[in-house]
Chain A
Amino acid sequence: MEDLSWGSIIARILTQFWPVWIGMILVFALSISYKRRLGLYGKLFDSTIGMVGFALVLFWFFTAIFADMIAMYEPLKVVSGMKNKVPGTALPDGSGYYLFGGDGLARDVFSRMVMGAREVLIIAPAATLFAFMVGITLGLPAGYFGGRLDTFLSFLANLVLAFPVILLFYLLVTPEIVLTGIPTYLAAVLFLFPIIFLVILFNSRFFVQPKKRNIYVAITLVVGLWLYLGLAWNADPLGLVSMQPNILIVFVSVVFVNSPTVFRIVRGIVLDIKTRDYVAAGQTRGEGPWYIMLWEILPNARGPLIVDFCLRIGYTTILLGTLGFFGLGVSPDSPDWGSTINEGRRLLSIYPHPALVPAIALMSLVLGLNLLADGLREESLRD
């Protein structure tokens, strides 16, 4: 078979992404036609920058969902004779093409990029969510109560923030540390926060309706502790939930690095909001401090928090890439973008394509998230 020209490579790639295009068209058509009823999300479609960002994020989101349909080969499949081949090279047996060429181990760069999107989009948003849970659970009382608690927590946050991120990764994400079990303990502490957060959330809301409260708190505790045992201790009694040790350590260290910044942001917002009249009104009505924090202050802080959440997913993606770039944590064959860039950079000046493809993928995802955050910020400031 003939090798492909650039035009036909692009055409084939565009057709390969067909589930993504359908998904994007559906989401955009629905959102634009109902945008007046969708609140802040709908307003996003008034700003060009926000729409471009949303489109990029959506593209990678659907790519991650439909990765099995889009990828043409297994990410670990090796075809002999395809080592470092340029984009558009036909397979030796004529059964297809490596659209973005082959990497140093004769695997398909295109399929690895697509499967890498799945890896990145599972870890990054989840880690960011956990970091937010930790940051909010600690930042609300620090800002609201102040005093010793605030001094202590702020000191801890500054301590973590004063660590250069790469040094922290090099200290935390090594096989020796895994042996000592420190990541598990760290996970054991950090993974408790979402449960604490949700329990306090429901408890303060339904405190006056004990029946409802008991149901909600019980459900949270059962599901939360089940997941907690499985994820942090790898001791799920049903054997369903577990996390590979190397993914766990990457996850934990990313949460650990991110949560102090979230803590600072939340604390700053709370310090500002707690002087408002509606908080004083809540206090005179005799509402409990946690009710005020979680149901009066937090909803009013959602604007900056949502914007920061978008930015932080992008930042977490960058951090994950950094870990992969230094070969820390993730398994060597993993198709995630950071490791692929790391593998490709050895022969970068001769065969640039294996490193260039994941690099551009990572950049476009982070760019999309940053533009989305910018669009959201602009639209939320408008009202």
Chain B
Amino acid sequence: MLMFILRRLGTMLITALCLTFIVFFLTNLPPNLEKVAKSEAGSRISDEEVESWLEKNGYAQPIIIRYGEWLGVIPGWTREGDDGRITGRCVKPDMSPEEVPGFCGILQGEWGFSTVFKEEVGTIINRRLGLTGILMGCVMLVMVPVALIVGVLAGMREGSRLDRSLSTASIATTATPEYVSGVIFIAVFASSAVGLKWFSGTATSAMDDITFANFTLPVVTIALYGIGYIARMTRASMAEVMTAQYIRTARLKGVSFPNIVMKHALRNALIAPFTVIMLQFPWLLNGVVIVETLFNYKGFGWTLVEAAGNNDIELLLACSVVAVFVVLVTQLISDIGYVFLNPRIRIS
């Protein structure tokens, strides 16, 4: 078991390094850097000025070295200017030359400075992730119980009318991406022209004060897309368990149907959905980006869109690290959890 976890951790580390390097490479392509130079040093500068600006600010080094600096395994560059002032990756304006640390990458907790929000990337990410965490938490609270109940109800009597209608409903929700259901919900429940006017069409106010009116639509929009998928997986797993020999034995012994479902089938039927739920986290990330943009909720997803749209390299890199981290950790948990929950694998 320990070897298994260690091997998984090793693969995960390599994957994380590869992915961050790809993101680093793609965000630091020459046209992006040129755009940065132009936005920092004036948009009308000539090509030579762009080059000298890049040279002065450490962007002209080979990409591998810059990746190492960003990661914090290679010392940050320093450079003595004509007037004797030392500039460098790790140099802050109010530092004396002796105080300058050798390394300053994400391993040292230095995430860089956002050019769009004029703030430390670390603080931005912290705050935005908190907001998104609340949203994700609410989504999970709605999505998981509903999906499991729907799946178990549909799977306990395969082929019944209840099963057919619940399955079709699950298919319908998986066919409705967030930007479609969000638009429909806003039109029906929040439009000021027609419709029911129950909820608010934006969630901007939910950042300070969450109310039923301003938070319901974003949560339901994200949850709905996931519900169908998890419910279908739960249904398949439940239907399989219900045909097992031990369930038949229990029925023949005269155990009542609710008892069979609750006490005998449920525990075994919920192993597979656990994996699926964990693997849904990366999908939620997608939904979060769409919904936060649609409802103008300024969380992590919204920040990602802003960073990507405004060529804010450091912020986008930090967002990618967080996103990749979330994906890889949920994969790891789902793998370990699956082994742990399933006694047949755990013992052998």
Question: Residues on A close to B: CB < 8 A?
Answer: 49, 155, 158-159, 162-167, 170-172, 174-177, 179-180, 182, 314, 318, 321-322, 325-326, 338, 341, 344-345, 348-352, 355-356, 359-360, 362-363, 366-367, 369-371, 374
Q: Bound complex: CA of A381 vs CA of B182, how far in Å? A: 35
* Chain A min CB distance to B259 (Å): 30
Please tell me if B285 contacts chain A, counting CB pairs below 8 Å: yes
Sample (30) of A-B pairs whose CB atoms are under 8 Å apart: A163-B324, A164-B285, A164-B289, A166-B286, A167-B23, A167-B304, A167-B319, A170-B305, A170-B316, A171-B26, A176-B31, A176-B311, A180-B31, A322-B179, A325-B290, A326-B293, A338-B179, A341-B179, A344-B183, A348-B183, A348-B191, A348-B201, A352-B183, A359-B179, A363-B176, A363-B184, A367-B171, A367-B172, A374-B167, A374-B171
Is B183 within 8 A of A162, CB to CB? no
Question: Residues on B close to A: CB < 8 A?
Answer: 11, 15, 18-19, 23, 26-27, 29-32, 35, 167-168, 171-172, 174-177, 179-180, 183-184, 186-187, 190-195, 201, 282, 285-286, 289-290, 293-294, 304-305, 308, 311, 316, 319-320, 323-324, 327-328, 331
Is B15 within 8 A of A171, CB to CB? no
Is B193 within 8 A of A352, CB to CB? yes
B-side interface mostly:
helix
Is B31 within 8 A of A179, CB to CB? yes
* Known interface pairs A180-B29, A341-B183, A362-B180; A158-B319 also in contact (CB < 8 Å): no
**Residues of B with C-beta under 8 A to A356:** 183-184, 187
Nearest 5 interchain pairs by C-beta: A352-B187, A176-B31, A170-B308, A367-B175, A366-B175
Is A349 within 8 A of B177, CB to CB? no
* Chain B min CB distance to A22 (Å): 27
**Residues of A with C-beta under 8 A to B29:** 176-177, 180, 182
* Chain B min CB distance to A216 (Å): 39
* Chain B min CB distance to A35 (Å): 22
**Residues of B with C-beta under 8 A to A326:** 293, 305
A-side interface mostly:
helix
Is B179 within 8 A of A167, CB to CB? no
Pick the contact of A352: B19, B179, B194, B319 (CB < 8 A): B194
Pick the contact of A360: B167, B171, B184, B195 (CB < 8 A): B184
Q: Bound complex: CA of A253 vs CA of B262, how far in Å? A: 45
Is B180 within 8 A of A363, CB to CB? yes
* Known interface pairs A170-B308, A176-B35, A367-B172; A341-B180 also in contact (CB < 8 Å): yes
* Known interface pairs A159-B15, A326-B305; A171-B23 also in contact (CB < 8 Å): yes
**Residues of A with C-beta under 8 A to B183:** 341, 344-345, 348, 352, 355-356, 359
B187 nearest CB neighbor, chain A only: A352
**Residues of A with C-beta under 8 A to B176:** 363, 366-367
Is B26 within 8 A of A172, CB to CB? yes
Q: Bound complex: CA of A163 vs CA of B316, how far in Å? A: 14
Is B19 within 8 A of A162, CB to CB? yes
Pick the contact of A345: B168, B190, B294, B323 (CB < 8 A): B294
Q: Bound complex: CA of A321 vs CA of B181, how far in Å? A: 13
Pick the contact of A350: B172, B175, B192, B290 (CB < 8 A): B192
Most B CB contacts (10 A, CB to CB) among A175, A314, A349 go to A349
